[in-house]
Amino acid sequence: MINIDRKELRVAVDALPAYPGKSGAVGLFRNLLQIAPEVDDSVDLTFFVSPSQHAYYARYLDSRFSDRIRFQTVNFSESSRLGRLVAQNLLVPRACQQLGLNAHFSLNPEPLFDMPGMVEVFKVADLQFIEVPQEFGIWKTCYRNYMGKRKVSRSELIIANSQYTQQRIIDSYNIEADRVQVVYEGVDHQIYFPEIDRSIPSAKIAEKYGVVYPFIIYQSSFRPYKNHLALLKAFQMLITKYNVPHHLLLVGININNYRQIIEHAINEGNLNSRIHCLDFVSDEDLRYFL
């Protein structure tokens, strides 16, 4: 294990996989920008971002902390997964060395190669490539398994977002329990707060998205393991058995055209008038749905 004084930590934050409008992890990185410097006056973070990510995240950086939180822009084709992997595996480690950073925080298992002298912290949201490998394909599953084992083996700390994920990490990688800590997902209280006046904005949101009240909302990307089909069956049961007046809103990005399968199931169940599929909804709008 590498011993670095907490006051000397200069952390690289690999935000490259979190694209605004495509990834729920964007909220985590945005919260780091806003909350970390307030909570800890010793924090020193360098965010590795693409040009478009830089434009987005820079809006949330408090100028009071610009000496302790900064951006390092990495140029690559943002539409290319391969380009992003090359950036994470080659460009980011090299920049960390050049900038004198000594810790690395990531949600993905990159980089492939060790980073001598650096503390690595790995946050794991889920292990779906282990739980449901058939939904990711053989190459991606093999890659994620191999990279995950390497990342876990050399990380000083692994962060899980639930006790279930914590135990699955311990069991899957056969590591000591004290190396995996649970940190629950937080809430951005600058956007989501109970005192919000919903009256006028809610009317505008209803007009913008065609929302019909009352409704139940499920926010998740359209993927098979997100269980949209089971939710449709449960919602149909609510209508049939309990005659609930609610509509169901399915909010999320379309992955591998899986949304078309959900829309076909909605048509087959004659639920078009009660279930509505929406694309990505910004946090600024989403708060009025809740």
Q: For residues 93 and 11, state if they share a domain.
A: yes
**Which residue carries 């987005």 as its tokens?**
56
Q: For residues 55 and 126, state if they share a domain.
A: yes
* Sheet containing 275-278, strands listed edge to edge, beginning at the edge strand earlier in sequence: 215-219, 247-251, 275-278
pLDDT at 73: 95
Q: For residues 160 and 269, state if they share a domain.
A: no
Q: How far apart are CA 210 and CA 133, in angstroms?
A: 36
Q: For residues 91 and 148, state if they share a domain.
A: yes
**Residues 194, 27, 205: CA angle, nearest 5 degrees:** 55
Dihedral in degrees, nearest 10, Cα atoms 193, 194, 195, 199: 100
Q: How far apart are CA 17 and CA 78, in angstroms?
A: 10
Q: For residues 124 and 231, state if they share a domain.
A: no
pLDDT at 1: 52
Q: For residues 12 and 113, state if they share a domain.
A: yes
| Contact criterion met (CB below 8 Å) for 185 and 162 | no
Total domain count, the chain: 2
Q: For residues 176 and 233, state if they share a domain.
A: no
Q: For residues 118 and 176, state if they share a domain.
A: yes
Q: For residues 22 and 127, state if they share a domain.
A: yes
In a domain, 187, yes or no: no
Q: For residues 140 and 229, state if they share a domain.
A: no
In a domain, 107, yes or no: yes
In a domain, 14, yes or no: yes
In a domain, 239, yes or no: yes
In a domain, 190, yes or no: no
Instruction: Supply the CATH number for residue 237's domain.
Output: 3.40.50.2000
- The reply to whether the predicted model has a pTM over 0.95 is no
- Give the C-alpha distances (Å, rounded to integers) separating 80 from 15, 44, 107, 115, 285: 16, 30, 19, 24, 29
Range of the domain at 238: 199-289
Q: How far apart are CA 9 and CA 102, in angstroms?
A: 6
In a domain, 76, yes or no: yes
| Contact criterion met (CB below 8 Å) for 74 and 90 | no
Tokens of 8: 């000397």
pLDDT at 182: 95
- Give the C-alpha distances (Å, rounded to integers) separating 273 from 44, 71, 89: 51, 46, 47
Q: For residues 156 and 272, state if they share a domain.
A: no
Q: For the chain (length 290 residues), average pLDDT per consecutive 10?
A: 67 90 80 84 92 91 90 87 90 94 94 90 90 86 92 94 94 94 82 71 81 89 92 96 94 91 95 92 82
In a domain, 267, yes or no: yes
In a domain, 191, yes or no: no
